């Protein structure tokens, strides 16, 4: 059974956030947490790390068991969509104005156990 965690209206650029989430897609949860802990884009990685921990807690609530090495959770799916955009004006020379677009994003993260992925693949191949 998979668990989902969402973060809406995170005030950071979706393009830069995608660079961080691309690093953890498909990884085991322990490896993903280590990757995020030592990521170069620290501010972005902190948000994703907190979201991943929330998804793990959601999985524990659904399945009534603790996460350990035998469980083998993986980051099944993670994607970033663009959110609202705040439009601001910055003064420019000779009485002009430049538009500043402050972007935000929505992150959706799904975790699932490795054993349930194998079971669903086997049932699909039998049909």
pLDDT band at 56 (very low <50, low <70, confident <90, very high): very high
User: Which domains can be identified in the chain, with CATH numbers?
Assistant: 3-126 (3.90.470.10)
Q: Looking at residue 62, what is its pLDDT?
A: 86
Cα separation, 84 vs 56, whole angstroms: 27
pLDDT at 122 over 80: no
Q: Looking at residue 119, what is its pLDDT?
A: 61
What is the average pLDDT score of the chain? 89
Left if phi > 0, otherwise alpha if psi is -120 to 50, otherwise beta: which for 116? alpha
> End-to-end CA distance of the chain, in Å?
20
**Interstrand relation of 97-113 and 73-91 (parallel, antiparallel or unpaired):** antiparallel
pLDDT of 68-121, one tens digit each? Answer: 654 688 999 999 999 999 999 999 999 999 999 999 999 999 999 887 655 666
pLDDT at 127 over 80: no
């Amino acid at each position: 059974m998979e668990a989902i965690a969402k973060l809406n209206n995170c005030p950071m650029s979706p393009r830069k956030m995608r660079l961080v989430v691309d690093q953890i897609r498909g990884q085991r949860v322990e490896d993903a947490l280590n990757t995020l802990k030592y990521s170069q884009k620290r501010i972005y990685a902190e948000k994703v790390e907190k979201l991943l921990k929330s998804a793990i807690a959601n999985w524990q609530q659904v399945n009534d068991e603790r996460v350990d090495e035998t469980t083998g959770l993986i980051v099944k799916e993670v994607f970033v969509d663009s959110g609202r955009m705040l439009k601001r004006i910055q003064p420019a020379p000779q009485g002009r104005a430049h538009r500043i677009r402050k972007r935000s994003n929505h992150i959706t993260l799904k975790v699932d156990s490795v054993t349930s992925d194998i079971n669903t693949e086997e049932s699909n191949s039998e049909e």
